[in-house]
Chain A
Amino acid sequence: MKRVIEGTAPCGAERSRWSRLACGVAALLATLLLGGVLTPCLADAPPAPDPAGTATGDRNSTLDAGGNPFVVPAPPDPSAPDYAQKKKDYDDYQAQLAKEPLAGKLADHVGHLRVSTNFSWTLLTGYLVLFMQAGFALLTCGLVRKKNAAHLMMLNFAAYVFAFLAYYAVGYAFQFGAVAINAAPANLGGTPTLNHFLIGNGLWGFLGGRGFFLSGPGYDAGSLCLTLFEVVFMETAGYIIVGAICERITFWAFLVAELCMGAIIYPVFGCWVWGGGWLSQIGTTWNLGHGYVDFAGSTVVHAVGGFAAMALAIILGPRLGKYGSDGKVRVFPAHNLAFVVTGTFILLFGWMGFNPGSTLGASDLRISVIAVNTNLAAVAGSAAAMLLWYWMFGKPDITMACNGMLAGLVAITAPCAFVSPTSAVVIGILAGVLVCLGVLFNDRVVKIDDPCGAISVHGYCGWLGAVCVGIFADGTYGSGWNGVGAASYLGHAGQGVTGLIHGDSRQFLTQLLGATICAVWAFGATYGVFWAVNKVKSIRVSPEVELEGLDMPEFGATSYPEDAPLTAAA
């Protein structure tokens, strides 16, 4: 018997508490400094913000289906060529109004009621999306090993906390600081104070510049309603990355990732698509359909999260023991399938806020179509995944059934408002198949270790969802989207966003372009930043910590303390 006695390996290196604290404070300060430097540079420019909410929603908010106000608005620009005619129309209208004061008061009240309905709709659906945080926490916690349960929960929790702060400081301003220029949310009163691009201008905006620290132009009832709704969407992208980086990332590196997500990675692409930025305007500037269309965020939210997750997963490398020396893939089974299923149901419920809420108003009755389409894609995706997996491996897999539902939900998120229910079913099936193939591809071919399937569910299916807009959109909704074709589109009055099947090939190309730009941006920006961070200090825990499980070494707490009895301090 060999009895060679070797020297013991050195114990884990001590981490200086002060250096960790310094890193965290430095990252937060950098974000705040960025906003702090920018805020004084941008003095309050007219129009005035409305923090009390008393000046939002009046007769000018009462719009018809085409988005034209019922009442004749005051012409805003004295230098415009048609100013004289518009001024005359306005003066005539005012004279008429003087004879019917009740009509004016009613118009004000109706406009206010409309905006009030839309405020409550937007906020309440936003709260549903907030609840998705709990769903994702349960889902991901259940999918990993027991020794990392507390780690997953803390990651999901801290993601919400720190990404929110980064978004409050600079993220919202970057994303929506210029929304009033090209994409004013009329349903919420138009948020007229958010009217300046920090980088770019007009139809070529790249970064917004109003509302830093939600102060000044951002301290406005309409703007803050939009803020609440949009921050929970950003949080969704923030927690998606948890699914791919868990079980081996250090907590400090994770906080840096969340600050980056909330401050830069998410808001930049979000500005380009939803903040009135350049990608939304290529329908006008490059004659590309209605510009890039993403209704509720298949790419803005999910693909950004999914491809950022992919970049981080590649830099981190696979979990210890995941890929054997012979290339065999090793299984790390979910430790709590009850959490996985419950979490998926909560996510489905929250998605009822995610998609229908993106109309930003209950006055837009397409919300019912959106709600049904969302559910149809969810169940179709789950059915497709279950049946495909059953056919391939002989038993339906519970985690793939859940991932299939989520894939369907992710894929329908962009097209939900523009397609028919049957198209929603087809999109769901496509996503269910794609997520199964994606999981196998990541594991077996490219060997990217993705514990919760985040890259497949959110990255690949997010890209698919945006492209599906360009295939299945049937023109029944979205007339005048991104400022294109309000009067008529493709020769029809009232024609909305249309896809390949219904005759608009330019929209299909636009969707391919935009979705791919999203993947390149999210992957590239994340990879660039974290390749550098990893060179300075490794973002991965030591092998001893990883084998023990991150619960105790990182947080001094375990989810299941009965497994390891504790004794009182000596």
Chain B
Amino acid sequence: MKRVDAVIRQENLERVRECLTDIGVEGLTAMEVIGYGRQKGHTETYRGCEYRVDFHSKLLITIIARDDHVEQILDAILEGARTGMIGDGKIFVSSVEEVVRIRTGEIGKAAV
């Protein structure tokens, strides 16, 4: 099983979720995060003093998927989250050792 983490723009959450639902993903976790990458910050002035705004607000969504589902999920996220401008985000795929459903105690693929 794989864990797919995607850092996306906040306003694209709806579109990404629709794309994921279309391919059968039934759940995900989302967190508000701040970060920066190539989308650099800028300098502002407050009451005469300069300061840097380096961090942007983004969303980190996490999906646990079966190995054979990962490619579709990546395509869906790309379709929903891409705008073509710097700052669209990144997707990370990692391995997951174990998944357990708390309510029933199911483990492994049945819990995904």
Contacts and interface: CB of A to CB of B under 8 A. Distances in A.
A7 interface: yes
Nearest to B34: A564
Contact of A8 (B11, B49, B86): B86
Interface in B40-72: 43-46, 49-57, 71
A566 B51 contact: yes
B57 A569 contact: no
Interface residues of A, number: 20
Nearest to A544: B85
A247 to B, nearest CB: 13
B52 A567 contact: yes
B85 A569 contact: no
B110 to A, nearest CB: 27
Nearest to B57: A564
Given A1-B71, A2-B75, A547-B11, A563 B84 contact: no
B59 to A, nearest CB: 13
A146 to B, nearest CB: 10
A556 interface: yes
A569 B54 contact: no
B74 interface: yes
B75 A7 contact: no
B74 A7 contact: no
Contacts of B43: 569
A570 B54 CA distance: 11
A568 B55 contact: no
Contacts of B85: 8-9, 544
B54 A567 contact: yes
Interface string A213-229: 00000000000000000
B78 A1 contact: yes
Contact of B84 (A7, A321, A564): A7
Contact of A1 (B55, B75, B86): B75
A568 B51 contact: yes
A552 interface: yes
A565 interface: yes
Contact of B45 (A2, A6, A556): A556
Given A8-B84, A9-B85, A570 B52 contact: yes
A447 B111 CA distance: 44
Contacts of B52: 566-570
A31 to B, nearest CB: 29
A544 B84 CA distance: 13
A529 interface: no
Contact of B55 (A547, A565, A570): A565
A566 B56 CA distance: 10
B11 A564 contact: no
A490 interface: no
Interface string B71-111: 10011001000011110000000000000000000000000
Interface string B19-51: 000000000000000100000000111100111
Contacts of A321: 11
Contacts of B75: 1-2
A564 B10 CA distance: 14
A564 B53 contact: yes
Contacts of A2: 75, 78
Interface string A534-564: 0000000000100100001000110000011
B84 A9 contact: yes
Contacts of B51: 566-569
A556 B43 CA distance: 9
A544 B86 CA distance: 12
A395 B46 CA distance: 43
Nearest to B56: A564
Interface string A517-546: 000000000000000000000000000100
A568 to B, nearest CB: 6
Given A9-B84, A556-B44, A1 B50 contact: no
Given A7-B84, A321-B11, A556-B45, A563 B53 contact: no
A547 B83 CA distance: 13
A552 B53 contact: yes
A552 B11 contact: no
B6 to A, nearest CB: 13
A263 to B, nearest CB: 32
Nearest to B45: A556
A1 B74 contact: yes
A304 to B, nearest CB: 35
A435 B85 CA distance: 41
Contact of A552 (B44, B71, B86): B44
Contacts of B9: 547
A567 B51 CA distance: 6
Nearest to A3: B78
A239 B107 CA distance: 59
Contacts of A8: 84-86
Interface of A: 1-2, 6-9, 321, 544, 547, 552, 556-557, 563-570
22 contacts: A1-B75, A2-B75, A7-B84, A8-B86, A9-B85, A321-B11, A547-B11, A552-B44, A552-B53, A556-B44, A556-B46, A557-B44, A563-B34, A564-B34, A564-B53, A564-B56, A566-B53, A567-B51, A568-B52, A569-B49, A569-B52, A570-B52
Given A565-B55, A567-B51, 8 more contacts: A2-B75, A8-B85, A9-B83, A556-B46, A564-B34, A564-B53, A564-B56, A569-B50
